[in-house]
Amino acid sequence: MAGALQVRGARVALGGHEALAGVDLDVAEGSTVAVLGPSGSGKSTLLRSIAGLQKLDDGTVSLDSRSLEGVPAHRRGVGLMFQDDALFPHRDVAANVGFGLRMQNVARAEREARVRELLALVGLEGRERRRVSTLSGGERKRVALARALAPAPRLLLLDEPLGALDRPLHDRLVVELRGLFAEIGQTALYVTHDVAEAFAVGALVAVMRDGRIVQVATPELLWAAPADAWVARFIGLQNVEEHGATALVIRPEAVVFRPDPHGDAAVGTGQRDGPLVTLRATYDDGREIVSAHTGLDLPPPGTRVTVEIDPAAVVEVPAGAPG
Amino acid sequence: MTLSDKRLSPLAVALVLLAAACGGSSGGGGTAATGSQVVLVTHDSFAIPKQVKAAFERQTGYRLRILQGGDAGEALNRALLTKGNPQGDVIFGIDNNLLSRAVGAGLLDPYTAKGLDRVDARYELDPTHELTPIDHADVCLNVDRRWFASHGVAAPTTLEDLVKPAYHKLLVVENPATSTPGLAFMLATIARFGESGWQGYWKQLRENGVLVVDGWEEAYTARFSGAGGSKGTRPIVVSYATSPPAEVIYAKKRPTTAPTASVAASCFRQVELAGVLRGATNADGARALIDFMLGERFQAALPESMFVLPVRNRTPLPDAFRRYAVSPAHPLELPAAAIGRNRDRWIDEWARVTLH
Amino acid sequence: MGPGHSALTRGRALALGTVPVAFLALFFAYPLATILERGLTSDGGLSLPEGTTALVWFTTWQAAASTLLTLVAGLPLAWAIGRFRFRGRSLARALVLVPFVLPTVVVATAFLDLLPADLQRGVPAILAAHVFFNVAVVTRIVGGAWATVDARSEEAAAVLGAGPLRRAREVTLPRLAPALSAASALTFLFCFTSFGVILILGGPGRATVETEIYNRAARLFDLQAAAALSILQLLAVAVVLTVASVLEARAGDGGALADEGDVLRRPTGGRRVAVAGILAIAAVVLVLPLAVLVGHSLGSWHLLFEETPALLVEPWQAAVYSVAFASVAAAIALVVGGIAAITLARRPPGVLDGFVLLPLGASAVMLGFGFIITFDAAPLDFRSSWWLVPVAQSLVAAPFVVRIVTPALRSIDPRLREAAATLGASPGRSRREVDLPLVSRAFGIAAGFAFAIALGEFGATVFVARAEQPTLPVAIFRFLGRPGAESQGTAAALAVVLAGITVCAALAAERLGDGRGRGF
């Protein structure tokens, strides 16, 4: 049911450039790792290589300590949930979900029972006979998930599965997925470009850039100590100041603006994102600093403030390769 | 249990097809069962009633297969193409216009058929017996008697009549390059007016509004006013001496007299011959078939199946043919050798005078 | 792209691709090469006969003019049938196909009846007959593409201020460009190699390259000139096909495609009148010759069941033989064409796609001759075998199967195959479970089409057919050549039977396809 994934030195060249430039990654049995990175960083290529849909130019992929080299995609026992679902349009829900079981030559009665079980798991009881074309976006995702899970893959790969969904549905599904994986002990590798999603889903987050993994850490560690300035900016730490070979990163929640008519900065417009309010202040010398806090009070734009920074929240990181 | 990954190999399909072919099935040529069938190569106008075919098969024990396509010239060309390894055993349909190309070309094996003694000498066009005469049907002008009666004009009786103003725009002929009767008619004019006069004749015909079409089907069934069911407007056409009886027999309502008639003075001799192909797989069968074709049964069936007249003396004719088919004693003729030598040149000259 | 890109690995594709190539090599290239060699090794070699330039000129411009007129006639019909949903749409689509598959001898005869006397022969008649035959090509290809052009692009253009003419030029036309070039190329090819129409309606002395090849080979037995002209024709056709496929490939995909269900709508207001008008005119023009045939056949139907000296079987049996041969031919065409389509679909549209139609550019009489002299000795001694007839017919039908099935295969989302692979389906299993159901519709259309084409095929059949097993076109031709009203009536009745079977086959294919598909 669960398997441990090990990727070492994966290299793939596509169309003249290196899509994967030596990737090392570990996913422990039963855990979920999120791969986070901008478009073009190689996330999808990494997934496809693990699934066997893309040949590696160098490096190895092992599942449960056994190398998958030379094993064709249909024998890897690796499930894949696609970005655009890729449901079989000519079959109904039950046939889609049961497809993998059919490939394993599971007897019909057992197959039907498992399909029922999975549909219940994803909250689609009773929808066996529905035509795929009549499903809503959320329902399609659930069917795609059920289908990928049905053959009990040792490893489940998810390729930006929740893109293009409306916000409440998106958020709800993220929580559901996380719970589901924990409940069934599924090993999963979850690829996304959305930082919040990665943080919500993954026990560990691997940040990818230009075909390489630049940091693997828990969301908390990532937030507290990003590997370099680029990672800091990418995950949303906006207070990054380069000084030569290093940069100073200040967590916004550790910055407080105290209204003070003699302060050295002026506040700009604020922005609310759920429970958090983000405020930007400009120093007299032009530098900017961002503060984030909960609460309901927003000083009007232009208010002069003193900037208070918790020194424990200041981290020095390498400037890293130019972004 | 579901099947393993089994795919009907396309190669297997191809092999099966090939095997079926070589296995001979129903009528593969070559190795299988050649002794029991006779293959006749002929043109599109060949026809044989089922009972007559069955009679042949009963009498001789050979099955008769027929390969037909195109007109007589095309059938001969196909035989020439496969000289030495012919598609069939007998070729039927070579006429006097094509004789010179077929005889002495290494295409045929001579055979003196049984029953030749009962054939009138004038049909014996090939003294070497590579070809045996089977039927004759002179190519003559046909006129629509009803049309002429209703218009109060006398129907033409000679070739010379056709250039008279009274017959302006009344004649339809076929292109000698593409039609056997068309060729025969052109040869008739050459026979009648000689090398020096025939082109002038055609010039006059052209001035008198002659309509030229490519084939007999179009000329007769679409242009000739006398053909049953035709919307044609021209009452004079180049056709066969046996067309008038056909109009009687195949009319929707049987008329009392023939609606059309042949112009005897315009008839050009047309004899059809058959021969054994050299290299035939079943030479015995071929000879048996030719004998049968000269026999009473086959000869009697000729008029109603192929609209031609028998060459065997004293063969009973169906009523309509007896009454309305002409068989002039001295139709227009040209020596086969002359036709063979000059045919292409004559056709080119004809086209220049008549078409361009 | 990795191995998951297509269900076929490179090695397997190569192996599979040898099947259609071997088939074509044996039954097309080999006989053709044999007869050409025969001709070219006689005196004269490659020299072309006198008057070839004028011949080529006439062939080309009549084909170009026919194509232009066909586009003019076909585009309104393509618009009406392609864009709108109305009752009887399937029937209309099926009927449009009938002229295309009817044997030319039948149609030409009907035309002779309809046209006034002085227009019956000559260029106008030829052009009219060509339009009649080929309007189906434009209607179905362009109409099919039109149905899938996303209406939203046109709406976007309208909102941005483009009037109807501007929209047509800037939005619709580019989207239809590949379909238009495909339809034009196909029509040009058919008119260029047109045979029966020229022969019957052209009048004496009128000739194209194709009829001249026939004249030289079959009538004059001048194999040298026939061979030289055949090579010329093949080269010309190859050029046309190359140009067409380059245009098609460059025009690309045509842009975003919508599902047909979204785009088809009932016509309203002015559109309604226009659609009705176009359909009415088309009905009259297309149905009139068929009505003439029906008229001629009245009173002769009982003759179909009577013995006749013209055929060795009762005429109705020709229908049985026709259906039997056409079924076998369609099966062969589906197998060979289907395999070719699978291998072609692996790559994007290119020059190779056009060359699929090359067999249609070869002269039927040369091919027939080739059959006779090539398959005359063991181990290839099958020139008298019954199955050579369906093989000859399949050579004409298979290119259409390829053209219909290939786009359908190309349009399969590769992700579906990948999904199947990750769910444990081997490449072969994946092809069966994913590809097959998705192209079954296209296959159904292709089957119906191949059947109809094989049914009406005459040129090559006539060389290998045997008198005991006549097909409908052969039987019709035989009756047309006999005097007497009865024979003519029987020919017309058989022609109506042929048309009827064709309509049924086309309708069945429509049913299977739901009117979908961007191919032919």
Residue A293: give its domain's CATH number: 2.40.50.140
Tell me which chain B residue has its CA closest to the CA of residue A107: B1
In this structure, are A131 and A210 located in the same domain?
Answer: yes
pLDDT for residue C1 is more than 60 = no
Q: What is the distance in angstroms between the Cα of B146 and the nearest Cα belonging to chain C?
A: 16
User: Which residues constitute the domain of residue A234?
Assistant: 230-318
In this structure, are A253 and A157 located in the same domain?
Answer: no
Residue finishing a domain among A198, A224, A250: A224
- Eight-class DSSP state of A92: B
pLDDT for residue A27 is more than 90 = yes
Give the DSSP H/E element, type plus range, for residue C57: helix C52-83
Look up residue C478 and give its two tokens.
Answer: 């035989």
In this structure, are A82 and A189 located in the same domain?
Answer: yes
Tell me: ipTM over 0.90: no
In this structure, are A100 and A239 located in the same domain?
Answer: no
Task: Look at residue C263 in the predicted model and tell me its pLDDT.
Answer: 56
Mean pLDDT, all residues of chain C? 81
CATH architecture assignment, domain C53-297:
Orthogonal Bundle (1.10)
Q: Nearest Cα to C406, choosing from C326, C517, C512, C505?
A: C517
Q: Exposed, middle or buried by CB within 10 Å (0-12, 13-18, 19+), for C298?
A: exposed
| Higher pLDDT pick, C464 / C304 | C304
Q: Which residues contact A137 (CB under 8 A, 6 or more apart)?
A: A164, A165, A169
Tell me which chain B residue has its CA closest to the CA of residue A104: B2
In this structure, are A190 and A264 located in the same domain?
Answer: no
* Average pLDDT over every residue of C8-21: 78
Look up residue B125 and give its two tokens.
Answer: 């066009």
pLDDT for B130-167, tens place per residue? 999 999 989 999 999 999 999 999 999 999 999 999 99
Q: What is the distance in angstroms between the Cα of B231 and the nearest Cα belonging to chain C?
A: 8
Tell me which chain B residue has its CA closest to the CA of residue C34: B81
Distance between CA C393 and CA B272 in Å, rounded?
33
Q: Which CATH number fits domain C303-514: 1.10.287.70, 1.10.3720.10, 3.30.499.10, 3.40.50.740?
A: 1.10.3720.10
pLDDT for B199-223, tens place per residue? 999 999 999 999 998 888 888 988 8
Task: Look at residue C513 in the predicted model and tell me its pLDDT.
Answer: 61
> In residues, how long is chain A?
323
Distance between CA C143 and CA C78 in Å, rounded?
4
Which stretch of A37-41, A311-315, B314-318, C510-514 has the lowest confidence by average pLDDT? C510-514
In this structure, are A234 and A91 located in the same domain?
Answer: no
CB within 8 Å: A73 and C4: yes
Residue finishing a domain among A187, A209, A224: A224
Question: Does residue A323 sit within a domain?
Answer: no
φ/ψ of residue A113, rounded to 5: -65, -45
Look up residue A260 and give its two tokens.
Answer: 């003070």
Q: Nearest Cα to A95, choosing from A112, A80, A120?
A: A112
CB within 8 Å: B66 and C466: yes
- Percent of chain C at pLDDT above 70? 90
- The structural domain count of chain A equals 2
In this structure, are A214 and A244 located in the same domain?
Answer: no
Q: What is the distance in angstroms between the Cα of B23 and the nearest Cα belonging to chain A?
A: 41
pLDDT for C370-390, tens place per residue? 888 888 877 887 777 888 889
Residue with tokens 């007839």: C389
CB within 8 Å: C3 and A53: yes
Strand order in the sheet with A66-67: A17-27, A5-14, A58-63, A66-67
Q: Which of B87, B304, B351 sits opposite C205 (nearest CB)?
A: B351
Set of chain B residues whose Cβ sits within 8 Å of the Cβ of C369: 78, 81
Q: Which of A48, A88, A89 sits opposite C2 (nearest CB)?
A: A48
State the helix-helix crossing angle for C485-513 and C436-456, rounded to 10 degrees. Answer: 170
pLDDT for residue B312 is more than 80 = yes
pLDDT for A256-280, tens place per residue? 888 888 888 999 888 888 888 888 9
Q: Residue C167 pairs with which residues in a beta bridge?
A: none
Which stretch of A6-20, B2-16, B276-290 has the lowest confidence by average pLDDT? B2-16
Contact B26, C386 (CB under 8 A): yes
In this structure, are A54 and A190 located in the same domain?
Answer: yes
Question: Does residue A169 sit within a domain?
Answer: yes
Angle CA(A279)–CA(A283)–CA(A285) in degrees, nearest 5?
Answer: 150
> In residues, how long is chain C?
520
Q: What is the distance in angstroms between the Cα of A102 and the nearest Cα belonging to chain C?
A: 9
Q: Which of A49, A84, A99 to mutate to test the interface with C (most CBs of C within 10 A)?
A: A99
> In residues, how long is chain B?
356
Residue with tokens 């490449």: C427
**pLDDT bracket for residue C9 (50, 70, 90):** low
In this structure, are A153 and A19 located in the same domain?
Answer: yes
Give the DSSP H/E element, type plus range, for residue C21: helix C10-24
Distance between CA C457 and CA C104 in Å, rounded?
10
φ/ψ of residue C216, rounded to 5: -70, -45
Q: Residue B143 pairs with which residues in a beta bridge?
A: B236, B261
- Percent of chain C at pLDDT above 90? 16
In this structure, are A147 and A202 located in the same domain?
Answer: yes
Set of chain C residues whose Cβ sits within 8 Å of the Cβ of B344: 220
- Distance of alpha carbon B184 from its chain centroid, rounded? 11
In this structure, are A149 and A272 located in the same domain?
Answer: no
pLDDT for C359-370, tens place per residue? 888 888 888 888
Distance between CA C463 and CA C457 in Å, rounded?
12
Interface B:C, Cβ pairs < 8 A = 172
Q: Give the HSE-up count for residue A73: Cα atoms under 13 Å, Cβ half-sphere.
A: 34
pLDDT for B31-53, tens place per residue? 344 458 999 999 888 888 889 99
Contact A106, A184 (CB under 8 A): no
Indicate the domain borders of chain C.
53-297, 303-514
Task: Look at residue C251 in the predicted model and tell me its pLDDT.
Answer: 62
Residue finishing a domain among A224, A251, A267: A224
Task: Look at residue B288 in the predicted model and tell me its pLDDT.
Answer: 95
Q: What is the distance in angstroms between the Cα of C480 and the nearest Cα belonging to chain B?
A: 7
Mean pLDDT, all residues of chain A? 89
pLDDT for residue B19 is more than 50 = no
Neighbours of chain C (3+ CB pairs under 8 A): A, B
Question: Does residue A273 sit within a domain?
Answer: yes
Set of chain C residues whose Cβ sits within 8 Å of the Cβ of B22: 379, 382
Task: Look at residue C264 in the predicted model and tell me its pLDDT.
Answer: 64
Distance between CA C180 and CA C176 in Å, rounded?
6
In this structure, are A42 and A18 located in the same domain?
Answer: yes
Q: Tell me, yes or no, if C381 comes closer than 8 A to chain B by beta carbon.
A: yes
In terms of average pLDDT, the best of A28-42, A290-304, C472-486 is A28-42
CB within 8 Å: B1 and A105: yes
Task: Look at residue C252 in the predicted model and tell me its pLDDT.
Answer: 56
CATH number of the domain enclosing A68: 3.40.50.300
Give the DSSP H/E element, type plus range, for residue B130: none
pTM for the structure as a whole: 0.76
Set of chain A residues whose Cβ sits within 8 Å of the Cβ of B1: 105
